[in-house]
A and B are shown apart, each in its own frame.
Chain A
């Protein structure tokens, strides 16, 4: 069974710090990887996707992928209170496969 695991939270960081969110996946055939942000009571919002080994940067967000270790992470630089939300890692194993989600980790950024 394909599984996606995220660190149990919650994670609390001070404003301005770097928040590091981690995710591992079990299916070596996984090909694309996504980070979603979900505010309480709202729908998931796509932040970034990555499908090649290495880093991908978009503003304050950096996604990192290591397929050999089956590991994907999201770094949030200069964390803001507005970043406080649940972050969901999702993995897609092929063109005709669904997205499999982790349980999410709740991030709290302290002012």
Chain B
């Protein structure tokens, strides 16, 4: 009964490189959310996806960031040409949705460090 799985747990990238963060939701969950957490700050919503669809990307920066949740395989958060300000913990959550109730469970996060 695995929970939400994220990998890698830690990722170091040089400025200008690409970062790919992966998230496998809990079994049976079809909704995935990505959040970013900067040191000493709360969780900031980035994007909400269902299988093959982006439902809400209002929290995604306009450039360099993209996300997908293909029919098969994990959800991917992709950051192109990383900058130091992208250093943060990135958390994925998955949920079932029962009407208006969304009970989301988080993965362990990927801690991205840009050097």
Interface residues of A (CB under 8 A from B): 31-32, 34, 36, 42-46, 49, 51, 88, 90, 92, 94-104
Q: Is the CB of B108 within 8 A of A43?
A: yes
- Shortest distance between the CB of B54 and any CB in chain A (Å): 12
Q: Which of B75-110 contact A (CB under 8 A)?
A: 91, 93, 97, 99-109
Q: Is the CB of B100 within 8 A of A32?
A: yes
Q: Counting CB contacts under 8 A, is B28 at the interface? A: no
Q: Report the separation of the CA atoms of residues A100 and B33 in the bound assembly, to the nearest whole angstrom.
A: 11
Q: Is the CB of A95 within 8 A of B105?
A: no
Q: Counting CB contacts under 8 A, is B115 at the interface? A: no
Q: How many residues of B contact A (CB 8 A)?
A: 25
Known A-B contacts: A44-B106, A99-B104. Give 5 more (CB < 8 A).
Answer: A88-B42, A88-B43, A99-B33, A102-B42, A103-B41
Partner of B42, one of A43, A97, A103: A103
Q: Is the CB of A97 within 8 A of B101?
A: no
Q: Is the CB of B100 within 8 A of A92?
A: yes
Q: Counting CB contacts under 8 A, is B56 at the interface? A: yes
Partner of B106, one of A32, A43, A95: A43
- Shortest distance between the CB of A104 and any CB in chain B (Å): 5
Q: Is the CB of A49 within 8 A of B42?
A: no
